[in-house]
Amino acid sequence: MKFFVDTADVDAIRELNDLGMVDGVTTNPSIILKSGRDILEVTKEICSIVSGPVSAEVVAMKADAMIAEGRKLAEIAENITVKVPLTWDGLKACKVLSGEGKMVNVTLCFSANQALIAAKAGATFISPFIGRMDDINLDGMDLIADIRQIYDNYGYDTQILAASIRTVNHVTQAALVGADVMTAPPSVIKSLASHPLTDKGLEQFEKDWAKTGQKIL
Ligand code: E4P
């Protein structure tokens, strides 16, 4: 499973990237707001750190303007993925931009039919939003499983990017149902290493080692 990090915090991206945990980055207008930085400048810095796909989102609502924004964002670096919303205009922009050879991430997906139509429009990635479905008591994992089945039935190579991942359990579930990629905040990615039994076991080993009076170095 590929790991994308869902942030514009360059220090956090650098730390995870040094550990080989970053296959790509996703951003959105809310993440850019949180960073307090200029979208072009911060996205360029992220692209200088990470070699994999870096999603930068258009903000226009009409297809022509989305295409123009997408072309400008794609000039930042070769690994830019233009992120467009799952609207009819977004699909038009997806078709044009993917036809130009640009990677396109179709975002804000909440149904299997939306995922199907995004694949037909040439999306490189489809982003079903798991956490936001949980927020309204819907099962995002069922959605990912349905998309997996549909893409496999027809051989679409659009990659399923499990987004709005908020918990470590979301990561496990998304991996089990066959998402190609997951994107999560740095805190969730770091939490994947944690287990209370690891902490408890280590505590006991430390105590017993101290009793031996030995040293390795
Ligand atoms: C993905 O591309 C989005 O940026 C992100 O996962 C949204 O997550 P949220 O629902 O926690 O804001």
Phi, psi of 29 (to 5 degrees): -60, -35
Q: Of the listed 83, 102, 200, 215, which one is catalytic?
A: 83
Q: How confident is the model at residue 202 (pLDDT cuts 50, 70, 90)?
A: very high
Q: What are the structure tokens assigned to 137, written together?
A: 């008591």
Helices and strands per DSSP (H, E), number in the chain: 11, 8
The pLDDT value recorded for residue 1 is: 97
What is the per-residue pLDDT across 87-104, written as a single tens digit (0 to 9) for each? 999 999 999 999 999 999
CA separation for the pair 161, 1 (Å, rounded) = 10
Q: Is 105 in the pocket of ligand 1 (CB under 6 A)?
A: no
Fold for the domain defined by 2-212: TIM Barrel (3.20.20)
CA atoms within 13 A on the CB side of 164: 19
Supply the pLDDT for residue 64: 98
Q: Whose CA is closest to atom 10 on ligand 1?
A: 164
CA 60 to CA 69: how far, in whole Å? 8
Q: Which of 33, 183, 189 to mutate to test the pocket of ligand 1 (most atoms within 8 A of CB)?
A: 183
What pLDDT score does 90 carry? 98
Distance separating alpha carbons of residues 18 and 5, to the nearest angstrom: 13
Instruction: Give me the mean pLDDT over the 69-81 stretch.
Output: 98
Average pLDDT over residues 28-56: 98
Question: Where do the domains of the chain lie?
Answer: 2-212
Mean pLDDT of 147-151: 98
Quick check: is 215 catalytic?
no
Residue type (1 letter), 96: V
Measured between alpha carbons, how far is 210 from 26 in angstroms, rounded to an integer? 45
